[in-house]
Amino acid sequence: MWVASGRLGHMITETNDLVRCFGAGDPLYEEYHDHEWGVPVHGDSVIFERIVLEGAQSGLSWITILRKRQGYREAFAGFDPVAVAQFTDLDVDRLLENPGIVRNRLKINSAITNARALVAMHEAGESLDDLFWSFQPPARKRPPGTWADVPGSTDESKALAKALKQRGFVFVGPTTMYASMQACGLVNDHIKGCVALKE
């Protein structure tokens, strides 16, 4: 049984008595679903990576981004914000020729802009990790029953988007930020019965 829905192209899949929200049948997708999505992560460069990847995903399937993830890590200096903040127009031209990433000028420029915003946060004594996690909502009392119960954005993701935009970040709308919150484990939206749900 599968039901397509949402940013991840969610599939509720039952295989050999295992239920996955999405990703069944693709080893890379299964690994991401089972061991990463909804699991708390910390660290400014790690969260920066999630923001860049979620922005790159806009208009595309998440599996496309997962398959290019290593390419992104290589192209964007392991998501070291100091290094990426120093990228020039020549670097943008170089990245537009790189098949290992999504070759979209706006998305590439947004990653550089966000790296510069993150460096500015550091210079102001702020941490992206601290800011991001300050918008964590209360834990769910019970898992979502279906994908219809999983929101596309929340008050917290709207507030997070606003806070990041105030600090100069771009491509950080409420829906993208909710997806980033899912990816970083601020929320756990695995549905009831999912093999990855930790209850």
List the catalytic residue out of 30, 37, 49, 54: 54
Annotated catalytic residue 72: no
Long-range residue pairs from 112-115, CB within 8 A, at least 24 positions apart, any chain: 112/84, 112/85, 112/87, 113/168, 113/169, 113/170, 114/48, 114/51, 114/52, 114/55, 114/168, 114/169, 114/170, 114/171, 114/172, 115/48, 115/81, 115/82, 115/83, 115/84, 115/85, 115/87
Annotated catalytic residue within 29, 37, 62, 133: 62
Active site residue 36: no
- Active-site residue 178, yes or no? no
Contact residues for 110 (Cβ-Cβ < 8 A; gap 6+): 52, 55, 170, 171
**CA separation for the pair 22, 128 (Å, rounded):** 29
Catalytic sites, residue numbers: 32, 54, 62
